[in-house]
Amino acid sequence: MKVILTEEALRDLDEILHFIARNYPTISPAFEQRLRTLLERIGTWPHSSQHVADRPGVRVAPLIRYPYKVFYRVTEHAVEILHIRHGARRDPWETR
C-alpha cells in the first residue's frame, strides 16, 4: 500500500533530522534507514500496529532502537503518516 507523509509528519521529520544531525551526526544514516524500513513495513502490513487510545482510526508504530513513534491511519488507498514524535512527549498531538 502507498505510504504518504502529511505536512505535519514532514515538519516533524525535518525537526528530528535537524536535531539528530546537530547532536548525533554519526547516527543519521542508521536512523534514516530504520525509518525507511518501518515505513515499508507499515505499507506492507498497515494493520499490524496497535491502535491509539482516544484516537479512532489512528495506529502507532515504535521506531525500534530510537525513541520515536510513527502515528498513522489507513485509508482505502494509502497509509497516511500523521506524525513522527519523540516517545517522551506527553501528548503527541499537542501544538508546538
**CATH T-level assignment (fold) for domain 2-86:** YaeB-like fold (3.30.2310)
- Residues ≥6 apart with Cβ < 8 Å to 66: 31, 34
Closest by Cα among 67, 69, 63 to 93: 69
- Distance between CA 74 and CA 21 in Å, rounded? 31
Residue 43: count other Cβ atoms within 10 Å of its Cβ.
15
Mean pLDDT, rounded, for 66-84: 96
Rounded mean pLDDT of the chain?
Answer: 92
pLDDT band at 54 (very low <50, low <70, confident <90, very high): confident
Q: What is the mean pLDDT of residues 6-23?
A: 96
The per-residue pLDDT for 93 is 57
Per-residue H/E/C for 42-81: HHHCCCCCEECCCCCCEEEEEECCCCEEEEEEECCCEEEE
Predicted TM-score (pTM) above 0.85: yes
Whole-number pLDDT of residue 90: 65
Task: Please tell me the distance from the alpha carbon of residue 77 to that of residue 67, in angstroms, as a whole number.
Answer: 29
